[in-house]
Structure 1
Amino acid sequence: MLWAVHCLDADDVLEIRQEARAEHSARLRSGIVEPVCYGMLVSDDGGHAVGSLILVRAEDRETVERYVAEDPFMIKGVWRKVTVSAFTESANSPARLADTLVMTEETNR
């Protein structure tokens, strides 16, 4: 199942975010959940990070919530609010994640 993880940063955490980035990035590749797409949420002018958006594949919500709780950005106080939502792609979406996932799986074989 796909899960959208929407994370909003606390105030004045740019330095902590930068210090924890490598550890956070390594966790994205840890295998606990399967990352599909992820990146920074940025201010309207693109000038600075305001959070993160992570789309993952995992068996259940508990796995995703445990993953988030143990992420360095959560532990070190970068994220002030995290929302986990089940996600189902629309058949009318102009970009199809399902197609991308199949291509990625075939490439990784």
Structure 2
Amino acid sequence: MPYVIETWDKADSTDLRMRVRPDHIAFLKANTEKLLGAGAKLSDDGETMLGTIYIVDVETRAEAEDFVAGDPFTRNGLPERITVTRWRKAFFNFEDNMHNLNL
């Protein structure tokens, strides 16, 4: 059952985000079997990171909550707010968007 996890970074947390990012990327790579997608939310300038969106395929809300709790971003206090919402796939074009991956 897919869930969308959305986080909002604390104000003025860019340094923390960049310091923890290598561990965050390693966490994502170690959990690829659960991930349908993940990426930073950006401001309109395309540069400023505001938070993260994850789409995870797990059986329960508790598993989705455990997933985000285990992310180094969360463990290091980056998010100000986190929401977990059950998601029903209506459309997802993974193969045509493979060229957009930027890890």
* 1:79 lines up with 2:74 in the alignment: no
Amino acid at match of 2:18: Q
Deviating beyond 2 angstroms after TM superposition, the runs of 4 or more aligned structure 1 residues are: 29-33
Task: Show structure 2 runs of 5+ residues with no match.
Answer: 96-103
In the superposition, relative to structure 1, how do residues 60 and 32 fare at CA in structure 2: closer, same or farther (>3 Å)?
A: farther
With structure 1 as the length reference, what TM-score do the two structures score? 0.78
1:1-109 alignment, distance < 5 Å: 1-31=1-31, 34-90=34-90, 96-97=91-92, 100=94
1:32: Cα distance to partner?
Answer: 8.2
Given that residues 32 and 67 in structure 1 are in contact (C-alpha distance below 8 angstroms), is that contact kept between their aligned partners in structure 2?
no
CA-to-partner distance for each residue in 1:49-87, whole Å, 9 max, x for gaps?
000011110111111101111211111111111100000
How many residue pairs match? The answer is 96
Task: Show structure 1 runs of 5+ residues with no match.
Answer: 91-95, 102-109
With structure 2 as the length reference, what TM-score do the two structures score? 0.82
Amino acid at match of 2:2: L
Q: 1:82 is paired with a residue of what secondary structure?
A: strand
How far apart are the structure 1 equivalents of 2:66 and 2:33?
10
Structure of larger gyration radius: 1
Given that residues 29 and 35 in structure 1 are in contact (C-alpha distance below 8 angstroms), is that contact kept between their aligned partners in structure 2?
no
The CA RMSD measured in Å over matched residues stands at: 2.0
